[in-house]
Amino acid sequence: MVSEPIVYASLGVGLSVFLSVIGASIGISISAPAIAGAGTERPEIVSKSLIATILAEAIAIYGLVVGLLSIFRLTSLTPADTDIAFRIFSGGLIMGIAAVAAGIAIGTSGSALASATAEKPELFSRAVVPLILAEALAIYAFVAALLLVI
């Protein structure tokens, strides 16, 4: 079994970027059709509802930032730095899993936001709160991952 620290650290980078992209794509692919559907009836709400896809895209950026910061540390990694390697691996895993969870939450709440706003536009300011809370899930993981990898 490979036990080189560089392998675990690289795996952490991969998980962070790959799972964050998956999370973002889930969020966008669930919310975007609903925004488009709502827009066919009420075009004026599309720009407001796009917040769901923007927040979903932000998840991928969090993962990318964690991945890039991890890569910077990879260059100075020696075979003795197992603790740093496991911190990078854990940071990537935390960011990746949280990104998928947040992506699902943003997708479903973004879809519901678009539907609700299409029916009652006055609901937007309140219906957007779950979407922001879903994004906060990814931010918690982002902060934890940063503390681990830096």
Partner 1 sequence: MLRDTVVHLLRDNFTEAKIRGKKRYLLERQQLQSLTEFKSQAEVIGFLADSPYGPELSKLPDSASPAEAERTIGESLARTVENIEASAKGNVRQFIVEYRRRYDAPDLARLLVFKLQGRLWEDYATRSSLGTLSEKQLRKLYNIENPRDLIEEMADQTLEGRLENMQLESPSPDKAAFIRDIIVGWGDERFYAYASNELTGRDRSSCIPIIGSAIDLGNISIILRGKLLGLADIRSHLVPVYWKLDSKTLESLLTAEDIQQAFDRISAHRYYRRILGGSRQKYEETKSLAFMEVLAREHFARLSHEIFLGIPYNIGVILAFFVLKENEARNLSAVLSGIDAGLAPEQIRTLLAT
Rule CB under 8 A: say whether 34 interacts with partner 1: yes
**Are the CB atoms for 90 and 97 separated by under 8 Å?**
no
From the list 12-20, 71-79, 80-88, 111-119, the region that binds partner 1 by CB under 8 A is: 111-119
Rule CB under 8 A: say whether 40 interacts with partner 1: yes
**Are the CB atoms for 63 and 19 separated by under 8 Å?**
yes
Q: Which is nearer to partner 1, 4 or 119 (CB)?
A: 119
Residue spans of alpha helices (H) in 42-81: 46-49, 51-74
From the list 14-22, 35-43, 65-73, 78-86, the region that binds partner 1 by CB under 8 A is: 35-43
Helix (H, G, I), strand (E, B) or coil at 130: helix
Rule CB under 8 A: say whether 29 interacts with partner 1: yes
Burial label for 147, CB within 10 Å (0-12, 13-18, 19+), is exposed
Interface ranges with partner 1 (CB under 8 A): 29-30, 33-38, 40-42, 108, 111-112, 114-116, 118-120
